[in-house]
Amino acid sequence: MTKIIGLTGGIGSGKTTIANYFAEKGIPVYIADDEARKITESPEILISIRKIFGDEVFNNEKLDRVKVSQIVFNDKDKLKQLNAIIHPAVKKHFKSWVLQNSNFDFVVYETAILFESGSYKQCDFVISVIAPIETRIKRVMIRDSISREDVLKRMENQWLDEQRIKNSDFIIENTNKKEMMLQVDEILKKIAIQ
């Protein structure tokens, strides 16, 4: 039976680099954020989003993700409402994706909010990626062209590394890329014999 490896970490921790490394090794990787973005384009999801946020988050009938982000990262209730629409749809999509990849020993489910969304419950193993907070802030500021304050607002909606560490099977410290890859290889060896 295919085992699910949950891969998580706070914003800017380096999850994507590790997810890419798993993919290079031939392990199927499900990037929840990317899939959620595609799912939000479906008509029924857009209707639900319009009911909560109104017409102001649409530009020529196209969802303005920047506006939605600005709203949800400043209003926890709106974030909960959005998550209540998106998370079940992603969960359903992920289930069918796992079935499509059932010929693999392992698949990876990558998401920043693995614990917050409850998705960790469907994983056989959980890997958390951690990195120094200042490193993470700088990475996200550069990557997303946003202010330090905006990064910190996003971080407020995620678990702290300490919380993730307590609930994970494996921890990867992302301070050096080569070291990080070695840590992944070691984890795969341990998982393979379990």
pLDDT > 90 fraction of the chain, expressed in percent and rounded: 86
Backbone angles phi, psi at 117, to 5 degrees: -90, -10
Q: Name the token pair of 126.
A: 């959980």
Can you give the pLDDT at residue 41? 92
> Across residues 33-51, what is the average pLDDT?
94
What tens digit of pLDDT does each residue of 17-31 get?
Answer: 999 999 999 999 999
Q: What tens digit of pLDDT does each residue of 103-156 get?
A: 999 999 999 999 988 999 999 999 999 999 999 999 999 999 999 999 998 898
Domains and CATH numbers, the chain: 3-192 (3.40.50.300)
6 in a known ligand binding site: no
Query: β-strands 58-59, 62-63: how paired?
Result: antiparallel
pLDDT at position 119 = 93
53 has a pLDDT exceeding 90: yes
Annotation-wise, does 17 bind a ligand?
A: yes
The C-alpha atoms of residue 111 and residue 91 are separated, in whole angstroms, by 12
> Are 161 and 10 in contact, with CB atoms under 8 Å apart?
yes
pLDDT of residue 193: 66
Cα–Cα dist 173/164, whole Å: 13
**What per-residue confidence (pLDDT) applies to 67?**
93
- Asked if the model's pLDDT at residue 65 lies above 70, the reply is yes
pLDDT band at 175 (very low <50, low <70, confident <90, very high): confident
Least confident of 90-94, 97-101, 129-133, 154-158: 154-158
- Asked if residue 15 belongs to a known ligand binding site, the reply is yes
12 is in an annotated binding site: yes
Residue 158 is predicted with a pLDDT of 87
Closest by Cα among 104, 74, 92, 106 to 36: 92
Dihedral class, residue 152 (left if φ above 0, else alpha if ψ from -120 to 50, else beta): alpha
For the segment 66-94, the average pLDDT, to the nearest whole number, is 92
Please give the pLDDT value at position 104.
Answer: 96
pLDDT of residue 156: 87
Tell me, what's the pLDDT at 194? 63
Residue 10 annotated as part of some ligand binding site: no
Mean pLDDT of all residues in the chain?
Answer: 93
Residue 13 annotated as binding site: yes
